[in-house]
Amino acid sequence: MDDSHLKLNNQICFPIYSVSRLMTKAYKPFLEKMGLTYPQYLVLMVLWEDDELSVTKIAERLMLNTNTLSPLLKRMEKMNLINRIRSGKDERSVNIQLTEKGKKLKNEARPIPEKLLSELLTENIELSDILQLKEMLNEWIKILSIKTKNIELTQPL
């Protein structure tokens, strides 16, 4: 019986899963200084690009469910990073706005990507590798986000 595919070293998902956790851990010392977790940092990055977004819009950008974001945003409101404002036009919708504190954190965050990058760049990893990896992963995201959405339509569970 050929079990080679079931070996951890032959899996593709396991390295992704591991690298994801390791990267988050690599961010930790930098984010800790700002009192942020990685998902909170992601929310701020979205808002630094476009302030005043609905919960659903942020969820789309981060590919997270609103039921993950709702409590996360509440914690960020308590930390005085954002304001949650119910929309006047549509009473169901909640708009997220950066506070002054949230806006100012951008200055502290600016050097982080460079620092992370420099940790990665070694004799074995070059910038071109990183860019290539990013392109590949973005292609995977396209495929997987379609597949995982349509699973209940294309096949019975």
Partner DNA sequence: CGCAATTATATCGTTTGCGATGTAAACGGA
Partner DNA sequence: TCCGTTTACATCGCAAACGATATAATTGCG
Beta bridge partners of 95: 54, 85
The answer to whether the CB of 62 falls within 8 A of the CB of 42 is yes
Q: Which does 65 bind (CB under 5 to 8 A by kind): a copy of itself, DNA, none?
A: DNA
Q: How many CB atoms lie within 10 A of CB 140?
A: 12
Residue 73 is which amino acid?
L
Member of 11, 14, 15, 25 binding DNA (CB under 7 A): 25
Asked if residue 98 binds DNA (CB under 7 A), the reply is no
DSSP code of 91? T
Asked if residue 88 binds a copy of itself (CB under 8 A), the reply is no
Member of 14, 16, 28, 101 binding DNA (CB under 7 A): 28
Asked if residue 45 binds DNA (CB under 7 A), the reply is no
Which of 95, 93, 94, 108 has the alpha carbon at shortest distance from 45? Answer: 108
Q: How far apart are CA 4 and CA 11, in angstroms?
A: 9
Interface with a copy of itself in residues 49-78 (CB under 8 A) = 49, 61-63
Member of 71, 122, 128, 154 binding DNA (CB under 7 A): 71
Interface with a copy of itself in residues 17-36 (CB under 8 A) = 17-29, 32-33
In the complex with DNA, the residue whose CB is nearer, 56 or 132, is 56
